[in-house]
Structure 1
Amino acid sequence: MPEPNGIISVTPSISQGLQDYSHNLYSALSPRAAEFRMLCNVEYTYQNKSYAVSPIYGTNPISDALATVSAIRKFRPEVVHSQSTNLGLLLVLIACKYVFGFKLVLTPHSSKSHFDRPIYERLQTTIYNACDGLIWHTEQDRKRMLEAGVDTPQAVIDHGNYDFYTDYKSDISRTTARSELGVNDDSIVFLFFGYLREDKRLDLLLESFSNLPESAHGNAELLIAGQSIDDDLTSTYLDLIEEYDIADQVHTHIGFVENEDVPLYFEAADVLVTPYDTISESGVVNIGFAFGLPVIATDVEGFSESFVDGKNGKLVSPDNPVELTSALTYAIENESEMRQMGENNRKQSEENSWESIAQETLEFYETL
């Protein structure tokens, strides 16, 4: 198809990371389309921006479905691009594409669900084959879906940068950030940031941090910030901190972090740690790169494709507390090398522009 004139983005999620991604992508993409509109949640953070927004989601599934059909009937797009894998909404979009004749593109953001969704997982291949195009952020996701029998056209397009986070509180210093968060100005500070979920393995990080050698322990602190999805899980982590006797070196800020407060945590940190079991792409890592932090990450999926051990940080085997402790120790004992890795990440972030991501996305639309 030629370059589409009418494009609708479907972004019903209240996830801040997904809203950040969608806002940056469509800020760059919308000027390239004759008509563009985003259908988003009523709590969408970026309303009243440079592109047209219709906040229609958030009442109930039936109202959301009816509002979606009404918007598509009104705007008659040539492409509908969903950033959501909400099963009910996808079924509505699939039905609408046959009625209204648009191309349906889906960015699932991961070929593996982070939550227990047995019905969706059983229907996953069927749903993806009913779409006209799929966009992934890693080659491994694309290959996994090909092996599962998905024959819909698929593209692998990098995740853009999160440099815009550096604009919030751009004048804040490391010393000020640490003072506000109660962190020692002389310590090596490791940061765990984002949603607290089992697959992100904060338990592994706490164990590994507690096993630091005595020579390194006194120079290290751990900063934990993010919203928990499970109060019982939070209690488990807090109990582990007491059990490992590291309460004096661990700072917990459990709860949603507003965008304008994000720089506090990244400016205060020396190293970002992401010991996840599985990941396709990570907004948290993109924020870390924007702030020039080196990253200690597990050698899984998206990380293994986008990271070079020794250039971007340290890669360790998943579910391996010994390797993770070794990497934490290395960061403490090799500050200059880690600082250089952080500079590499900052440069890489600058090169990964949203303009190029938007152009690749439009070019994919044109192939459908």
Structure 2
Amino acid sequence: MQRLIGELNAGDQAKPDIIHLQQTPLLNRGICLDFKLLEAAKKAGVPVLHTVHNVLPHDSGDHLRNIYGQLYNGVDHLICHDITAAHRLNEEFSIPLKKISVIGHGPLFAPAHAPKEWEIHNARRLLNLPENASIVLWQGIHAPYKGVDVLLEAWKLALAQGLQDVVPSPLLLIAGSGPKDFEATIRLAAQHLGGTVRADLRYIETRELPLYYTAADILAYPYRAITTSGALLTGLTYAKPIIASRLPAFEGYLDDRGNAILVEPGNAEQLGMAILCLLKSHAAANIGNVGGEAVCYLQLKSAALKNTSRYISWGQIGNDTVAVYQRCVASSRR
């Protein structure tokens, strides 16, 4: 970034047509190099675009609100991923809606088709997972806002409500890395929940991640808050029933009792009941039932097969982004 700032300040003839900021990790640590870039770009007549993946950084409270307000008002244009985020930018930071473009997010990766039975069995074999287990998957980089602690408490409550009596082999699979103290908390909780929780707490390579999604029966997103979730978009591509928090960023992709069960964020009791009911339904469907208790799981799974209609392709995202570039550049040259 410092090199780019130097080139812009020097009036380099080969200056870019536009600068697109995606992430601002230095700003999150109080290092304001981004503002020097904005100043240099303005001096050079180069428009700056920023994609707002999260209106405010995760788990940051309000202590970065002022500095992000400066950023949002300082750039020439903003992209966000849904209308809710656009309205927050307008209402909380006084950004004119004409300065904001809404372009959807895409999945981080996707299978060519909904996993077939043999692919599910193969994924479980490669991950050394029980073939006949009813598996709920949480996958990601651990952080407080993602609600793993709520999920573990919910699992504990489901067990207390007789989960193992109605589901032969329930398994909560937590996969991903995070801060050491956070991992230690998860390991301890998993130990207290016996053999019903498996914690794969490590960096999982991209080539391995599809195995986890393929192996699962249900995907869990117990987030406390989120603006955009590539993890959810990825989960949608695997056509699995989902249990998630009732958040605006999720409700654009999930219909309660349609392709998902939605619960209030942070509510372990609701989440535990959803887990118990859906795993019970899955167990009934797994032995060939198509009515009664099996209906809930089968209906969600059927709806999930249509998830591809709920998000746009990366090709469309690319085209929409280029169109924003063109408008920004044209505006800067008037």
Q: TM-score range by the shorter chain?
A: 0.7 to 0.9
Q: 1:89-128, aligned counterparts within 5 Å?
A: 89-116=33-60, 120-128=64-72
CA distance in 2 between counterparts of 1:102 and 1:248 reads 58
1:83 aligned onto 2:22 = yes
Provide closer, same or farther for how the CA distance between residues 161 and 201 of structure 1 changes in structure 2, counting only shifts above 3 A: closer
1:155 aligned onto 2:101 = yes
1:362 aligned onto 2:308 = no
Deviation for aligned residue 1:356? 1.6
**What is the CA RMSD across the aligned residues, in angstroms?**
2.6
Deviation for aligned residue 1:159? 0.6
CA distance in 1 between counterparts of 2:217 and 2:55 reads 31
Q: Deviations over 1:259-309 (max 9, x none)?
A: 111111011101110100001111111211122222211011311233211
Partner of 1:233: 182
CA distance in 2 between counterparts of 1:97 and 1:203 reads 43
Q: 1:252-331, aligned counterparts within 5 Å?
A: 252-331=199-278
Contact 1:293/1:341 (<8 A) preserved? no
Partner of 2:285: none
Partner of 2:287: none
Letter in 1 for 2:194: A
Q: 1:129-148, aligned counterparts within 5 Å?
A: 129-148=73-92
CA distance in 1 between counterparts of 2:122 and 2:151 reads 26
CA distance in 2 between counterparts of 1:279 and 1:142 reads 14
Consecutive unaligned residues in structure 2, runs of 5 or more: 282-295, 329-334
Contact 2:154/2:271 (<8 A) preserved? yes
Q: Deviations over 1:137-165 (max 9, x none)?
A: 12222212211233250111111234446
Contact 1:289/1:348 (<8 A) preserved? no
Provide closer, same or farther for how the CA distance between residues 336 and 91 of structure 1 changes in structure 2, counting only shifts above 3 A: same
CA distance in 1 between counterparts of 2:186 and 2:91 reads 37
Provide closer, same or farther for how the CA distance between residues 216 and 204 of structure 1 changes in structure 2, counting only shifts above 3 A: farther
Q: Deviations over 1:110-130 (max 9, x none)?
A: 102114487643221122111
Partner of 1:197: 143
What is the TM-score normalised by the length of structure 2?
0.81
CA distance in 2 between counterparts of 1:263 and 1:126 reads 39
Deviation for aligned residue 1:166? 5.3
More strand per residue: 1 or 2? 1
Q: Secondary structure at the match of 2:37?
A: helix
CA distance in 1 between counterparts of 2:219 and 2:304 reads 10
Provide closer, same or farther for how the CA distance between residues 335 and 306 of structure 1 changes in structure 2, counting only shifts above 3 A: closer
1:342 aligned onto 2:304 = yes
Contact 1:294/1:312 (<8 A) preserved? yes
Deviation for aligned residue 1:170? 11
Contact 1:166/1:263 (<8 A) preserved? no
CA distance in 2 between counterparts of 1:162 and 1:348 reads 16
Contact 1:78/1:101 (<8 A) preserved? no
Contact 2:110/2:238 (<8 A) preserved? no
Contact 2:106/2:230 (<8 A) preserved? no
Provide closer, same or farther for how the CA distance between residues 231 and 116 of structure 1 changes in structure 2, counting only shifts above 3 A: same
Deviates more, 1:260-269 or 1:83-92: 83-92
Deviates more, 1:199-208 or 1:92-101: 92-101
How many residue pairs were aligned? 299
Partner of 2:123: 177
What is the TM-score normalised by the length of structure 1?
0.74
Deviates more, 1:200-209 or 1:148-157: 148-157
Deviation for aligned residue 1:200? 0.8
Q: Deviations over 1:81-111 (max 9, x none)?
A: 1101232342132022112211110002010
Q: Secondary structure at the match of 1:233?
A: helix
Provide closer, same or farther for how the CA distance between residues 271 and 71 of structure 1 changes in structure 2, counting only shifts above 3 A: farther
Deviates more, 1:302-311 or 1:313-322: 302-311
